[in-house]
A and B are shown apart, each in its own frame.
Chain A
Amino acid sequence: GDSVTQMEGPVTLSEEAFLTINCTYTATGYPSLFWYVQYPGEGLQLLLKATKADDKGSNKGFEATYRKETTSFHLEKGSVQVSDSAVYFCALSDRGYGQNFVFGPGTRLSVLP
């Protein structure tokens, strides 16, 4: 079945450091790929998405590119802030956008001032 693997944290960085959170997936079809973020005490929020190969999703300084050849969707940010501290989930949807999400285990990011 479909699956998502992402680097497990916690990841601890200093403010303004470069962030990479790796995500790879296994899917039978051509899934849509997502990154969700969960701040303490809140629900999951969509951070960015990509629906086809070579698409780049971006939001709030975060970027991820849908790489079909490496089945990857790594999350990057050039300069993290303390406010970016949260848990990040990589996910795929293999039955069209909005259906049947498969999530990675989540990566906890802590950014220190």
Chain B
Amino acid sequence: GAVVSQHPSRVICKSGTSVKIECRSLDFQATTMFWYRQFPKQSLMLMATSNEGSKATYEQGVEKDKFLINHASLTLSTLTVTSAHPEDSSFYICSARGASGVSSYNEQFFGPGTRLTVL
């Protein structure tokens, strides 16, 4: 089946620094990737949708200058949390969807998540 990886799985950083999280589709080409955020005991909340080669579409209330998303290739999307603060501490999950016309188009495949802790 389709596999999506995330790196790193855990990261601890100081307040004010920037953190980059990678999301890779390992065995299929992902034309669309999604970034979610999950607070403890809460739902996954969609932050943004990124399509390869174009700008990401952010959900209402998500600061695009705070959460920079780049989807430069069909197998890699990155989320950069800029000038991180303790309130950005959360579990970030990506998912990927394949191109139209292939089986991976009809499902989102999820990565294992990245736990960010900002001190």
Q: Of B12-20, B65-73, B81-89, B108-116, which stretch is located at the interface?
A: B108-116
Interface-facing stretch out of A68-76, A77-85, A101-109: A101-109
CB distance from B31 to the nearest CB of A (A): 11
Describe B's contact surface by its main secondary structure.
Answer: strand
With A43-B4, A43-B111, A100-B46 known to touch, is A105 a contact of B97 (CB < 8 Å)? no
Closest residue of B by beta carbon distance from A46: B107
What bracket does the count of chain B residues touching chain A fall in? 20 to 34
For residue A44, CB closer than 8 A to chain B, the reply is yes
- Cβ contact within 8 Å between B108 and A101: yes
Q: A52-69 toward B: CB 8 Å interface, digit per residue (1/0)?
A: 000000000000000000
Partner of B112, one of A36, A43, A104: A43
- Say yes or no: A45 contacts B97, CB within 8 Å: no
Q: What residues on A are CB-neighbors of B32 within 8 Å?
A: 98
Can you pick out 25 interface pairs between chain A and chain B where the beta carbons lie within 8 Å of each other? A4-B43, A8-B41, A36-B110, A41-B112, A42-B112, A43-B93, A43-B110, A43-B112, A43-B113, A44-B93, A44-B110, A45-B110, A97-B107, A98-B32, A98-B97, A98-B105, A98-B108, A100-B46, A101-B34, A102-B43, A102-B46, A103-B43, A104-B43, A105-B41, A106-B41
